[in-house]
Every structure is written in C-alpha cells, then in structure tokens.
Structure 1
C-alpha cells in the first residue's frame, strides 16, 4: 500500500455498476492503493496522483467500466476514499 484509504464511500451510480457483477470494487481499490492504474488513465492525472502520494494531495484513479468512467478519489488527509461516476455520464 502506498497510502491509507480511510473510510470507503460508494456513490449510488457506482454501487449499481458493482451490483451488475462485472467488476470487483475490492480489486479497483487494491489497484488504486498500489498505483496500478489503467493504461487509458489521463497522463496528467497519473502524474498528479503520483505527486500527491508523495506530497499529501488528492489521489485519483479512473477506470473505464461499461461505457462509464469510474473515479476513485482519496482525499488529501487520507481519511476517505470515494468511488463515483462523474455527473456528465
């Protein structure tokens, strides 16, 4: 683990994707916390998240799942991690 996740929160939209059973949220969290990010993740976002691990900022991972972009965000204080789908889906 590169950083603590804190309390894990799940938006209703993300919950519905996980209930469909195509992807395991535990696997995404494992990949998020180890920096094993999806190849299609924006390179600037990847660099910013790597810097945030070192500097204490917000860490973000994105995943393409079923035509949606799922965001995994750990806050700067490392007190919570949110799995969410942006409103523009």
Structure 2
C-alpha cells in the first residue's frame, strides 16, 4: 500500500452524509494504534464513525477520489487522522471483511 498523501490541514478533505456508507467488518487495532488512542484520549468509535461517513481525515485529494470510488465499487478505503501530532491510519479492506486501525510504521 502506498502511503497516503497527508493534507496540510486537519479539516476533513470530504464530509459525507452523516450515515454509514459501508460496513467495517471485523475491527482490529495494532498495539501502536491502541497506545496512540489512549495517549490522546481519543474514542476509537468516533474515529471509525468518521471513516464510515467518508470524513477521511487528513488525506490528499487523490486519495479522497480513490476512496469515493472504492465506496461504490468495492475497493480498499483508507483514512488518516492526526492525533496529538501523530498519524493514525484506518484501512477497510475491499471485501469489507475487516477494518484495521494502525500507525503508518506498523503497515
């Protein structure tokens, strides 16, 4: 997987409808992701809901377009959120069987 291009702003690149647009499947998180969520006091359910609503966080325009296409056509969906100055990735697999929260260096 190529690294997402992180936008220079913390504002969402695209905000969806407010409803879940795709299934997450089985949700898991790496030790680094769990540590980052804990250190920043971030509720994983809120970040996952943003991901499902097509609020992809701090990704570039090319990745937003790829995600929007993937939602309708079954591709992998990637979000990146800046938490306490660190990046947290969320990846939902193309078949929607699973979603993983991870740090970029854990991929």
Correspondent of 2:89 among 65, 71, 74: 71
Q: Quote the residue 2:71 is aligned against.
A: 53
Is the strand fraction higher in 1 or 2? 1
Deviations 1:9-36 (A, max 9, x none): 1010000012225211100000001112
| Equivalenced residues, count | 87
Q: Which runs of 5+ in 2 are unaligned?
A: 1-19
SS in 2 for 1:3: coil
In 1, Cα distance between equivalents of 2:82 and 2:52:
17
Residue 15 of structure 1 corresponds to 34
The answer to whether structure 1 residue 26 and structure 2 residue 45 are counterparts is yes
Stretches of structure 1 lacking an aligned partner (at least 5 in a row): none
TM-score by length of 2: 0.76
Runs ≥4 in structure 1, deviation > 4 angstroms?
none
